[in-house]
Structure formats: structure tokens, C-alpha cells
């Protein structure tokens, strides 16, 4: 089973996270940030991942440290669960509609972590959530997972829909990319022989 368990404790956050790539889309997320809990729950569901996250963070300041540090932990969990990446499809992409929003994401499990983020979110907040933190989350996740991640907004006016579409789209792209390719189950999908 492709699983990982990550803990991270700093002066700003105390996080425990478990991930199973070949799960049933089950989530238990208690981060202290309600909107992030919602996004992580649908991320697990649409990715087919089992995800458990608990976080005690300095949300009395704001949600920044919590969101970024959970992105770091989730990225590390993906990298750990994938191991040497033997047999994975490696690439995934989808254009995902969320009501009026249409979000394109593309993933390469390349070993080179970078996020190329192209969302134009019209408001500064969704409820109490700072919409700028969407970029912080995906930047941290992509860097620590070692994946190349592109996210583009093709349409959208509602900030909640745009962000929700992004989390769902990335989850669906990752679901494709981490899947085992039965034809090449023992091969690393790179002419270099390694993904690093």
C-alpha cells in the first residue's frame, strides 16, 4: 500500500497528516481553518485518496502558517507514498468545470517541484479565508511533492467556485498521474531510469 505519515511541529503549527494514495476518497480534516477543511475533503474525494489531517496553528494571527504548512506536509506525504515512482503513469491533466468556473490543471510527477499558478480570484476573502492562500498552498505542495503543477483559470467569476474548482482539478490530475500503469508496472517512467 502506498501510504505516508507526516508530522511537523514548529512555533507556528503542530500538524499530523496521513495519506493513502489507493484509498476510497475518505477524509478527516480538522485544521482550524474551515474553508481549508472543505477544500482538503473534496481533494481527497476527487483524488480517491484517504487523507487525515489535524493541525493546531496560530490562526489567531491568520491562516497563513496553517495553510502553507499543511501544503508542505501534504507534499511530503505524496513524495513519501510514491517512493521510487515505479509503475506510475506520471502525467495527468483535466479541464474541470465548477458551475461557471472552468479550471485546467496539469501534473508531471517530475521530481522538480514547481507550481505555475494562473487563477484570477475576484475577491480577497471567501468567508474568513484569504484567497491569496490558495497560491501559498499549491506552491508549498508542489515544491515538497516534487511535482510540476500548472493551474489555469479558463473561466470563472465566483471566488469560492474558482478555488474549489482548482482543488478538484488538481486532485483529478493527480489521480491520473499516481495511478499504476499495468503495462509498465515495474518501470520508472523516465528515460533517465530515475525521477529525482
For the chain, helix (H) and strand (E) counts, in that order, are 4, 10
Distance CA 152, CA 54 (A): 29
Q: Is residue 192 domain-resident?
A: no
Distance CA 42, CA 23 (A): 14
Closest CA to 48 of 188, 179, 189: 179
* Whole-number pLDDT of residue 193: 80
Q: Could you tell me the maximum CA-CA distance found in the chain, to the nearest angstrom?
A: 51
Q: What is the DSSP-derived secondary structure letter of residue 184?
A: G
Q: In whole angstroms, how far apart are CA 117 and each of 72, 83, 135?
A: 17, 26, 7
Q: What is the DSSP-derived secondary structure letter of residue 88?
A: B
Q: Is residue 27 domain-resident?
A: yes
Q: Is residue 158 domain-resident?
A: yes
Q: Which domain holds residue 71?
A: 3-184
Q: How many domains does one find in the chain?
A: 1
Q: Is residue 112 domain-resident?
A: yes
Paired with 50 in beta bridges are 20
Q: Is residue 71 domain-resident?
A: yes
Name the packing angle between helices 64-82 and 133-145 (round to 10°).
30
Could you tell me what percent of the chain has a pLDDT over 90? 93
Question: pLDDT (tens digit, 9 = 90+) per residue, 132-191?
Answer: 999 999 999 999 999 999 999 999 999 999 999 999 999 999 999 999 999 998 888 888
Q: Are 51 and 44 within 8 A, CB to CB?
A: yes
Question: pLDDT (tens digit, 9 = 90+) per residue, 66-86?
Answer: 999 999 999 999 999 999 999
Q: Is residue 191 domain-resident?
A: no
In CATH, what number is assigned to the domain containing residue 154?
3.30.230.40
> What is this structure's pTM?
0.96
Q: In whole angstroms, how far apart are CA 190 and each of 90, 139, 149?
A: 9, 24, 18
Q: Is residue 109 domain-resident?
A: yes
Q: Is residue 190 domain-resident?
A: no
Q: In whole angstroms, how far apart are CA 68 and each of 36, 46, 54, 82?
A: 11, 21, 14, 21
Amino acid at each position: 500500500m502506498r501510504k505516508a505519515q507526516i508530522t511537523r511541529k514548529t512555533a507556528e503549527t503542530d500538524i499530523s497528516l496521513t495519506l493513502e494514495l489507493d484509498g476510497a476518497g475518505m477524509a478527516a480534516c480538522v485544521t482550524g481553518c474551515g474553508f481549508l477543511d472543505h477544500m482538503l475533503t473534496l481533494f481527497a474525494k476527487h483524488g480517491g485518496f484517504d487523507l487525515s489531517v489535524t493541525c493546531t496553528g496560530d490562526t489567531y494571527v491568520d491562516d497563513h502558517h496553517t495553510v502553507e504548512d499543511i501544503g508542505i506536509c501534504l507534499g511530503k506525504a505524496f513524495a513519501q507514498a510514491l517512493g521510487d515512482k515505479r509503475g506510475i503513469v506520471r502525467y495527468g491533466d483535466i479541464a474541470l468545470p465548477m458551475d461557471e468556473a472552468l479550471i485546467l490543471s496539469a501534473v508531471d510527477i517530475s521530481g522538480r517541484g514547481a507550481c505555475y499558478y494562473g487563477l484570477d480570484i475576484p475577491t480577497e476573502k471567501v468567508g474568513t479565508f484569504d484567497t491569496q492562500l490558495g497560491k501559498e498552498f499549491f506552491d508549498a505542495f508542489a515544491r515538497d511533492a516534487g511535482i510540476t503543477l500548472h493551474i489555469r483559470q479558463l473561466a470563472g467569476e465566483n471566488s469560492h467556485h474558482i478555488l474549489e474548482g482548482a482543488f478538484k482539478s488538481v486532485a483529478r490530475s493527480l489521480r491520473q498521474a499516481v495511478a499504476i500503469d499495468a503495462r509498465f508496472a515495474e518501470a520508472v517512467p523516465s528515460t533517465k531510469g530515475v525521477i529525482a
